[in-house]
Each structure stands twice: as C-alpha cells, then as structure tokens.
Chain A
Amino acid sequence: MGSAGAAAAAGIHDGELGAPPQTYTGKVPWQEGAADAPPAALGTDFRFFTPAERSFIEAAVNRLIPPDPAGPSAVEANVPFFLDRQLAGPFGRGDHYFLGGPWKKGAAEQGYQMRFSPAQLYRAAIKAVDDYAAANFHGAAFASLADADKDKLLKGLEAGTVQLGDGVDAKSFFAMLLQNTKEGYFSDPLYGGNKDMAAWKMIGFPGAHYDYSEWVTRHGEKVPYPTVGMKGRPGWSES
C-alpha cells in the first residue's frame, strides 16, 4: 500500500491538487524561468473526434448555443475544437475520476458514477445517438436531421425519455455535453474555445485581469478595461 500510495502521489500533476507533497529545507524553492502555465491548445487539427463524430458534435453544440444576434454560436466560438482537445487529454482519459466499480446508479449528489472515462462516454454516446436517430428518423444521422428533430432528440436525452444502447446513460451524457459546451464557450481562448473572446465580449466580461478588487463595490459601473485573455489581446501586437 505504501508504495502504491507513493506512486499515485508522484503521478498526480494537477493544478487542482497542487504539487505533490515534498519537504524543503534551508530556503523556499524557486526555479528561474519556470511558470505555473496552463496547457495551451495549439494548432487546428482534431485529435479525438472522427469526421463523423465531429459532424455530430458540431450539429449538437450549435443547437445548444445557436447563432443569434446576441453573439456567436458554439461552432463560431470554436467549441468543437475545445472539446476535441479536452477529450484527447487528461480530462478525456478521466485522470481525475474514480473509475473503479461498483457502478451502481447513484443519487445526483453522488456525481459521476459511470465506468466510462469522458472520452469513452462521448464515443459510445455519439454512436448510440446516431443509431437512435437512424432507427427513429428514417435512417438519418443526427447531423442531417432538421433543427426541430435535433431539438426533439436532445430534449429526449435531457429528460431521460430516450433510451440509448451500449449501456450509455442518456441523461448523464447530455448533462456532460451541455456542461462542456458552456465551458468551451466561456473559458479562456488559450484552451481552444471562446474564439476572439467573443463570448466574454457578449456578456461584457473584460477577461483575465489580475485584480478586480477595486470594482467589487462599484455596482452598475462599466469596467473600462479592454477584453483580454491569458495570452493577450490584439492590442499587444497590433499598432
């Protein structure tokens, strides 16, 4: 047990948990040039979704956050790319989940209870939803359904009235997809979504400024800062 515990502790490398416990003597450790940097989603290639899965995801997230005059749609905000990189990484692998059994259906308060990692859940659920669509909507994949039919199916997943095959819990998948879509839409552009900080601009959030403390008591005032992400804003390079 001792060695298993130590191995687990050494393997955890996560900002949420903090650095693995260590003992320091003499002085506070500090390494020149090292940074508590977030992992950036670089490039444009998709690493997790197959082309068919990508079609499903683009169709689904664009019904959750459709284009309208208020702001960009989920696809315009690059949410599918954000989801792809999350599912290709530690989140998708379920590095932070307890995935061992028993896999009994728990109360909502007990949180995630499935044996699937998030990546496995997305993969199985996308196939199950497409199978369901084919069986119930004249052989069509979800992405090619009319918007009204897409909404009908998504609402069925949310309510749990649609039963999926392959052991996939429709409600849990919908809840995760909706949650992750919101995260991709509003998280820092560094992670691949929220393109051009458009979601922040839509709601008037000025972004990743270090300190808002002087604004805490200034209700109803517009914060005059230009919107900025962790990797900057156009004004840092253009002029």
Chain B
Amino acid sequence: MRRPRIRGKAALGATAALGALGLAGLAVGQILPPLPAHPVTGVTPVGFLAAPIADTTPNAAQLQRGQYLVRAGDCVSCHMREGGDPLSGGFALKTPFGTIYSANITSDRETGIGGWTPDQFHRAMHDGIDDQGKNLYPALPYPWFRRISRADDDAMLAYLKTTPAVSYTPPPNKLPFPFNIRFLVKFWNVLFLKSTDFRADPRQSAEWNRGAYLVTGLGHCGGCHTPKNWLGADKGGQDLQSGKLDNWVAPDLTANPRTGLGGWSVEEVAEYLKTGRNARAGAGGAMADVITYSTSLLSDADRHAMAVYLKTRPAGAEPAIGAPDAHAMARGAAIYSDACASCHLENGVGQPRLFPPLGHDAVLQQADPTGLEHIILAGSRVGTSPAAPTPLTMPSFAWKLTDQQVADVSTYIRNSWGNRAAAVSSGSVRSLRKSLDLEAIRYTANSGDQN
C-alpha cells in the first residue's frame, strides 16, 4: 500500500530550494546522506581487557597477571556504564535497597584509584574499607574478594595503575534512609562477613582448589547465584542455590539435576564459560556480560577448574510441585506452536548453540519463573566472546503477548519435554512488565510508521 522513497514535505522543501538554482532534478538522489564507507572502529572493552602487555615492559609479569585477574573478577561488567570508558565506573547497580553507582577504578589520581597504596587496595578488597577509612557497600563484593591472596590484590592494583586515567566522578548513590548511613555497614559486616581467607582443601585436587579459589573468590559467582536474606547477605547453607537480582534469576549452580548443573558435564560447563553457549543453553541477562568481559577471556585450564569445582556443589531440597492446569497447558501449547516453535521447534529441541533446546532445561525450571518471563517479555541476547563473536538475540514478545499468554506459555514450557516446575501466574507477569517499563510498546527505529 505504501509507495516508497521520500517523505512529501521534506521533498517539497528540497525541491523548492533547489528549483531556484535550476537543480530540481538532483533533489531525489540527495535526500539521504551517504552511508559511511566503512565502520568506524574504536577500542572495545574486550580489546582493552585483552590488550597485550609486552614482556619487555617493566614489571611485565605482575602487570600481565593483574590484567588477567581483572578479567577473572569481571570488574568491567560493573565498573563501566553505557558509553563510558572501561573501569571508569558510573554503572547503576540496582539493589533492593536503592541504586549504587560503581566507582572509577582507573589510574586517575583525583577521581580514580591512581593514588591508592597496595595496603589501601587490599583493605578495600578484604574488608570493604576505602582509602579514607569509610565503609564501602557490599555491592563491591568484598565478602568474596577477601579470599583473594595479597599477591593477587597487589598485581591487580599494579595493573589498574597502568590503565589510562579517566577523570570521571560517578553520581551519588540513591539510597533511602537508613541505608544511606555508611556507618551501618559495620554492623552488617559483624553479622554477615563470615567468609574467611581462602584455604585450600588438601583432600581435593589442585585443579578443584584452583576452581574453588576462582569461583568463591575473584569470580564472586555467589554474588548473584546464592539466595540473599532481607539485608542482602547470603542465606546460610544455600550456596549457589539460585538468586534473584534486577528482574533476573541467577540459576541454581549446584548438582541438582533438574534446576542445577547436575545434568551438565564438566566440559559443557567449561564450554559455556568460554562461549556463552553449549548444547544446552545460552547466556543472557547479566551472565552475557560475565561471559564477554570475564570468563571468555580466561584460560581453558581455569575454566575447566571452575567447572570441576562447580560440579561438586551440593543440591538443596526439592520442593513439591503440583500438576499444571490442563487448560493453561492447552493455551500455552497453542502459543508455543505459533510463536516459539519456528526457532525452538515443536519438540523443544531447538538448534543447539543457536536456539537453546528447552527440554530438561535448568533455567526454565527455576523455582522463581522471573528469568523465563523476562526472556519472553524483553528478549535476551547471548554474550559474545572471541570464540563465538555473533550476538544471538531472542526478540521481545511484550508487544505481541498478553500477561495471561506469557503466563500460559511459560507454564507450558516449564512442564513439557521433561521439565517440571510450578505454574506461572499472570499477576507475576504483570508486575514484571511494569518493572521492566514495558506496559507501552517500545518500538525500534526500524518499526513501521506509527499513526
């Protein structure tokens, strides 16, 4: 129904202007500016993190180690805001208590940590106390980082001091009373800062211990994957049994065969950490950044060690799960067939490493369905890595499906092809849609004309 080419009014204006010069014939061809001849390239955060440090550099070995550890700690995911320089901070971390902005940890002496001593840095990493002696909020994961060795802390600071100085001061935190009183963190530390320095377990292999050091220390996996109590501290005895943050669910990483890594091999875990995808899953949400800025940039040996350790984590108790409503299942099956099956296929087998298979899937069977609802409403993008640089994307279905339809298709997916999980209510979808600010359709620039 539409004839292409140019917008009436603009064309009239251009024609009028050029008509005076006798150039009307050129108007049509000159409306759109030419495309750039080639993409403009900048230094990407990954390029920054992987920039070679020459062996001839003074102190090269420590700096190379420090750079590697900054990757292992996934520092860039939090210490970089959209459009900002890597490590310059300003990223808004949305906690249940308010918004905390990450610090500038570049070598800038005024706004960064260029002036910090190794003792000050170690104190921040180990005890959560900054160079001025003030308490840091545990948004900086010092409850995990305190397991890092002093030599590793020193190497990271040495490297950070070689990064380009970026003068940038993040906005002040938005924390309501009483969470805005930093002093209170001292009591939090007394109550919850139970983790000790890392001690190798002599009964386990060297590889297992290396994995434990990375997972429970610098990797701070439990920061997201361990459930939290009402004050944001780890719930005791539930390590890595699935946590919730910023409208996502960080899945269970224990040996639970239904919701955790029980069905995954060590090699599958390691492949996932390397490429963000394996034959079972793709890493979306916050995990996409973890893959891109951290685990994809580690050594195969370290990824394997992390996988070996993770495979030995004990599972939590299994809840009782009732049978889903047959009508909801029938509606969900209809939606799945029309809206999902073109990529994930009718039998849920998908296309491994491209479109995740859905059967016997841990992410889909988490007790809290927020992650699945989030993926359906907002879409998701798998993290990129040097080994798999294409960012595969699932589109948003918020414009297409009602809350009830998202709930029904979720219930269906959570209870098909070997999956078994609690039914999803339309109320939980409605509140998530509101939190994600998707009550009105969010159009891309490529959408059709709106009236």
Interface residues of A (CB under 8 A from B): 1-2, 4-9, 11-21, 23-28, 30-39, 85-86, 88-91, 93-100, 111-112, 117, 179-180, 183, 209-211, 225-226, 228, 230-233, 235-239
Contact = CB atoms under 8 A, between A and B. Distances in A.
B39 A23 contact: yes
A85 to B, nearest CB: 7
Given A26-B42, A235-B334, A35 B32 contact: no
B436 interface: yes
Contact of B8 (A35, A38, A98, A211): A98
B331 A235 contact: yes
Nearest to B397: A35
A236 B331 contact: yes
A39 B7 contact: no
Nearest to B338: A228
B399 A35 contact: yes
Contact of B438 (A1, A16, A33, A180): A33
A74 to B, nearest CB: 15
A237 B451 contact: no
A37 B441 contact: yes
B381 to A, nearest CB: 5
B11 interface: yes
Interface string B12-42: 1111011000000000101111011001111
Given A96-B4, A232-B405, A14 B331 contact: no
Contact of A237 (B379, B398, B405): B405
B12 A14 contact: no
A161 B112 CA distance: 82
Interface string B201-223: 00000000000000000000000
15 contacts: A12-B6, A14-B2, A15-B448, A17-B4, A21-B33, A23-B39, A28-B391, A35-B399, A37-B447, A93-B8, A95-B8, A98-B8, A228-B338, A231-B400, A239-B327
A231 B396 CA distance: 14
A233 B338 contact: yes
Given A9-B32, A98-B11, 15 more contacts: A5-B30, A6-B33, A9-B33, A13-B450, A25-B41, A34-B443, A35-B399, A90-B449, A99-B11, A99-B12, A117-B8, A210-B342, A228-B338, A232-B335, A236-B338
B316 interface: no
Interface string B298-334: 0000000000000000000000000000010011001
A34 B397 CA distance: 9
A89 B331 CA distance: 34
B15 A100 contact: yes
B395 A233 contact: no
Given A33-B398, A38-B448, A39-B450, A91 B17 contact: no
Contact of A232 (B33, B35, B45, B338): B338
Given A9-B32, A239-B331, A35 B396 contact: yes
B56 interface: no
Contacts of A235: 330-331, 334
B448 A8 contact: no
Contacts of A237: 331, 402, 404-405
Contact of A90 (B44, B398, B401, B451): B451
Contacts, number: 202
- The 10 lowest CB-CB distance pairs between A and B, nearest first, are A210-B342, A8-B10, A235-B334, A19-B445, A89-B451, A90-B449, A239-B330, A33-B378, A37-B399, A25-B42
B133 to A, nearest CB: 38
Nearest to B26: A1
A2 B30 CA distance: 8
Main secondary structure of the interface of A (DSSP, over half): loop
B34 to A, nearest CB: 8
A235 B17 CA distance: 56
Interface string B387-427: 00001010111111110110010000000000000000000
Nearest to B42: A25
A144 to B, nearest CB: 29
A39 B377 contact: no
Contacts of A25: 39-42
B446 interface: yes
Nearest to A102: B24
A122 B87 CA distance: 60
B381 A30 contact: yes
B444 interface: yes
Contact of B451 (A39, A97, A238): A39
Contacts of B17: 1, 4
A23 B316 CA distance: 49
B396 A19 contact: no
Contact of B44 (A19, A21, A26): A26
A25 B33 CA distance: 19
B199 interface: no
Contact of B334 (A14, A209, A233): A233
A18 B444 CA distance: 10
B447 A15 contact: yes
A89 B449 contact: yes
B194 interface: no
Contacts of B331: 235-239
Nearest to B247: A32
A81 to B, nearest CB: 13
B105 to A, nearest CB: 20
Contacts of B54: none
